[in-house]
Amino acid sequence: MGLDPVPNASSRQVQLADDRRPGAASAGSARERRRAFEALSEEIRRCTRCPLSASRTQAVVYRGSFAPRIVFVGEAPGAEEDRQGVPFVGRSGKLLDRAVASLGPALGEYGVLNLLKCRPPGNRFDPSAARTCRPYLERQLALLRPRALVPLGARALAALDPTAAPILSVAGAPRRAAVGWLFPLIHPAAALRSRRRKERWEHDVRALESWLGSSRLEIL
């Protein structure tokens, strides 16, 4: 499997917070956008556009604030997420939650979602399903309008910035991509697999904290 899971995906349509054109897809009051987000979440829960819908227990849509400053973007739900219907609630999620807690007030409001909304059988990432699912990601981000995205791992990074170098050479530093500001991190599952990667994860989370704390993000 290549690094780019959605080779035909257009990253142009993802709108981050710096796109506040009147009439843009993301326009509207916070209340209207929240209502639209809830309607979209319901649409995702009912989705049958790809074969993953037949094997899922339930779709896994989003967790977090409806006005997030930062959105963490993972790959796909695992077994526990499929069971609970919530992203990042398994082992990787526990590590992510510890990182989030350690970021403290520097983080502000945040959200968590995945490229794929349904668990792929055997946790094998499905690029074709990711292409089908892509519009949901774009619509979610257009409504949430975060200031920056934190892609977790190579697949999320490649989906949000197909031009990016491999994850290990870009994780832990902010980068301006066509979609807006990204701060890639390695996937927490990778951090759970080796001590070296765990150290890298912790180091990069501290770098994220400095970046967020510098508050440059508010004026970019």
Q: Which is nearer to ligand URA, 75 or 204 (CB)?
A: 75
Which of 81, 82, 126, 204 touches ligand URA (CB under 6 A)? Answer: 81
Q: Which is nearer to ligand URA, 26 or 140 (CB)?
A: 140
* Residue 127 lies near ligand URA (rule: CB under 6 A): no
Beta strands in 41-82 (DSSP E): 63-64, 70-74
Residue 16 CA to residue 14 CA, distance in Å, equals 7
* Residue 78 lies near ligand URA (rule: CB under 6 A): yes
What values do phi and psi take at 90, rounded to 5?
A: -90, -150
Which of 5, 64, 68, 87 touches ligand URA (CB under 6 A)? Answer: 87
**Binding track over 103-122 against ligand URA, x by CB under 6 A:** -----------x--------
* Residue 68 lies near ligand URA (rule: CB under 6 A): no
The string of DSSP letters for 78-107 reads -HHHHHHT-SS-SHHHHHHHHHHHHHGGGT
Axis-axis angle for helices 30-45, 127-144 (nearest 10): 160
**Binding track over 135-174 against ligand URA, x by CB under 6 A:** ----------------------------------------
- State both tokens at 53: 């819908």
Residue 72 CA to residue 43 CA, distance in Å, equals 21
User: What does the binding site for ligand URA look like in residue numbers (CB under 6 A)?
Assistant: 74-78, 81, 87-88, 90, 92-93, 114, 189
